[in-house]
Amino acid sequence: MMMHFKEMPYERVCYEELEGRYHQLMEELREAGDAEACMAVLRKRYELMADMTAMDLCYVRHDMDVNDAFYAAEQAYYDEIGPKLSDLSNQFDRLLLDSPHRKDLEEILGSYVFALMEAGQSGFDSRLIELAQEENKLLARYNQLTSNGTVDWEGEKRKRNLMTLIAQSPDRDVRKRASLAISDSWEAQRQELEEIFDKLLDNRRRQAKAMGFSSYVEMSYFRMSRIGYGPKEVAAFRELVKKYLVPLSRKLEERRRKRLGLEHLYIYDSGVHFPEGNPVPVCVESAPVDRAGMAQGAAADDRAGMA
């Protein structure tokens, strides 16, 4: 029987319970006599991680409505215990990395798994728990602020995230005015946003320093599990993007400009692809549009551009 997302039961994950289970698993891992015994412990660890699904459920429901008081409180709880759980996870991984059975485990799991664990050790440890908790609070404040941003539009206040269809109106004057109204909305929050950004920058600099890195950028490569490549390779990739993708993007934008019949594309023309307006989901109320005709016209235009 299919269960809808809203029907999925939620129960708070208890940190003390997870902590006790992690310590028990780590003790079993220390006592494991061979790789198979280690794998048995690892399977229990996967079960523990599955029991943390409620954290993801909370995150999604909170993200859907940041003003829901219940899930806001639950997310604040997870923001507090999350770094401590990451530390426990790292302690468990450290035992696997230092295991006398590592060679056999790599035969079973593959060396890439262990490379990811090594990266995790470099990107986080217990020294960062308080800083990570501070970072989570700043990010929560940012999400709350941006999610509740409103736009003054034609005598009423609208949530900023509900302005997308208006900002992509076939009427250029409408989308220009919408773009300016959205810009004014962000400007009204400038001071608070800049304060958050400044605090985040300082927080992340302190995290990098605590872990012995010269900058957060250097540490973030480990945070993002970038295995086998670094800044040098990323810089080379950026050059390839400039060489091959940017010219292609410009050609596509020029094709779009001609399709829209405009002399010049401005920021408020961004995301608009057809003079009649963009295709919209059938559940969204809008003026009827000839989707078939638009699709045929775009296809013909693309074929002409590729010729």
Is residue 104 over pLDDT 50?
A: yes
Confidence tier at 302 by pLDDT (50, 70, 90): very low
Is residue 307 over pLDDT 60?
A: no
Query: Residues 30-49: what's their mean pLDDT?
Result: 97
Confidence (pTM): 0.84
Domain ranges of the chain: 5-125, 230-307
pLDDT (0 to 100) of residue 177: 97
Query: Residues 124-140: what's their mean pLDDT?
Result: 97
Query: Please, what is the average pLDDT of the chain?
Result: 91
pLDDT higher at 249 or 281:
249
Confidence tier at 291 by pLDDT (50, 70, 90): very low
Query: Residues 14-35: what's their mean pLDDT?
Result: 97
pLDDT (0 to 100) of residue 51: 95
Share of the chain above pLDDT 70, in %: 92
Q: Would you say the C-alpha torsion 55, 150, 139, 214 has a positive or negative sign?
A: positive
pLDDT digits (tens, 9 = 90+) for 174-189: 999 999 999 999 999 9
Q: Would you say the C-alpha torsion 226, 230, 231, 235 has a positive or negative sign?
A: negative
Paired tokens of 155: 């005598």
